Structure 1
Amino acid sequence: MSFPIADWPDVPADLIAEVRDFVRIDHDADDAAIDAFLRSAASLCEDFTGQMLIIRSVTDMLPTRQAWQKLKRLPVQSIASAEQVGADGPAAVLAVEDYAVDIDSDGIGWIRLHRGDGGSRIRLSYSAGLATDWDELPAGLRQGIVRMAGYFYANRDGVDAGGPPSAVTALWRPYRRMRVA
């Protein structure tokens, strides 16, 4: 469930410098490549942990049901709006009294309709993520992203050193959120 790499917020110069230091290069000629490697590493981190790293806006489409339904992204920070989308495409904003929302202690967002009246789907807009920017990421996640980007940089010419470093997995594993489908 990755976002396109272009949807990531700008990578700060100090994070690029951190990768440069990690791979021991002293020039900035490859900063654009390192930026792309950082975005790829962060995307892999999100996929591995099951959590969004940087808070971003998300839109989910869910079926119209009166039972509680989980939102797809974690951890949910806030739920902005809910719309009922008809089978032919038009959307109507749901009145607050027509549904209930909850964000539990695990950061899982929930919605439940009080009644289903005609729409075939619900479109939810919400924000999810662990940190407001790169600097607020937990140290283990950030260091794993730096190491993974360094691995990508070192192996950019197609020479594989035997797979990603196991240290990356060790750094990310405490943040992993498994979901049963």
Structure 2
Amino acid sequence: MRLIEETTVPDPALPVEQFKAHLRLGTGFSEAALQDGILNGFLRAAIAAIEARTGKVLISRDFTLVVTRWSDEAGQVLPVAPVTAVTRVALVDAQGLETVLAAEAWRLEEDDQRPVLRPAGLVLPAVPTGGSARVGFTAGMAADWGGLPADLGQAVMLLAAHYYEYRDETALGRGCMPFGVTSLIERYRPVRLGLGAVQ
């Protein structure tokens, strides 16, 4: 299984000015924008870390899932949430010939933890031998920064500030994810029941 991020979070969607205020950086100077690229990088790193811990995409963007076989013929679980739309499902044979499935052949079962691509009938179409299936979809909790839940926005700010503060730290310890961040994101993490299976 391979997950490809087709689009990235656009720069205007990142709260650089809010982050500057959070860091209490000086304003009104002619060189105030010099650090914008660096701050942008810390925000992107914090978003990526929180998305990795929670399995949730914060700012909406497009992905492609590539599989050589379905995890379950009755429905393929998508690896991130929330998925707002499945835009394309295609089968690719061993020679690279692609066949796009009609939208009527599948449906999205929306779920905040485990969205699933379901067949219109009993099973998903067979993946060609030596080939793959490609599922294009859009995922994200919000279209822009203002639409994010407040606790996740605060977690990104805290973690980005932590990265900024310890940007020269190369050892583990102080550079790890702070407790305040982990407590803010805890309710968004996948629920695990039984023998470690995600439910």
2: CA distance, partners of 1:48 / 1:23: 24
Partner Cα separation in structure 1 for residue 89 and residue 3 of structure 2:
22
CA-to-aligned-CA distance 1:36-85 (integer Å, 9 cap, x gap): 00000000010011111111111111325743221222111011111111
Aligned pair partner of 2:62 in 43, 57, 61: 57
Q: Is the 8 A contact 1:55 1:131 kept in 2?
A: yes
Q: Sort the Cα spacing of 1:32 and 1:85 in 2 relative to 1 into closer, same or farther, 3 A.
A: same
What's 1:45 paired with? 50
Q: Which shifted more, 41-50 or 108-117?
A: 108-117
Structure 2 unaligned blocks of 5 or more: none
Question: Quick one: which amino acid aligns to residue 38 of structure 1?
Answer: L
**What is the DSSP-based 3-state SS (H/G/I as helix, E as strand, rest coil) of the residue aligned with 1:53?**
coil
Q: Distance in 1 between matches of 2:135 and 2:4?
A: 17
Note if 1:95 corresponds to 2:102.
Answer: yes
Gap change, CA 1:116 and 1:40, over 3 Å in 2: same
Shift of 1:30: 1.8
Distance 1:2 1:88 in 2: 21
Post-superposition offset of 1:158: 2.4
TM-score (normalised: structure 1): 0.83
- 1:136 corresponding residue in structure 2: 147
Q: What's the % identity of the aligned pairs?
A: 28
Distance 1:59 1:79 in 2: 10
Letter in structure 1 aligned against 2:110: D
| Kept after mapping to 1: 8 A contact 2:82/2:112 | yes
Task: Return the alpha-carbon distance in structure 2 between the equivalents of residues 100 and 164 of structure 1.
Answer: 39
Q: Secondary structure at the match of 1:30?
A: helix
Q: SS at 2:66's partner residue?
A: strand
Quote how far apart the aligned CAs of 1:176 are: 1.5
How many residue pairs get aligned? The number is 178
Amino acid at match of 2:95: D
Compared CA separation, residues 106 and 21, structure 1 to 2 (3 A):
closer
CA distance in 2, matches of 1:145, 1:2: 23
RMSD: 2.8
Query: Secondary structure of the equivalent of 2:133?
Result: strand
Among 138, 143, 146, the residue aligned to 1:127: 138
The TM-score normalised by the length of structure 2 is 0.76
CA–CA separation in structure 2 for the residues paired with 1:3 and 1:123: 10
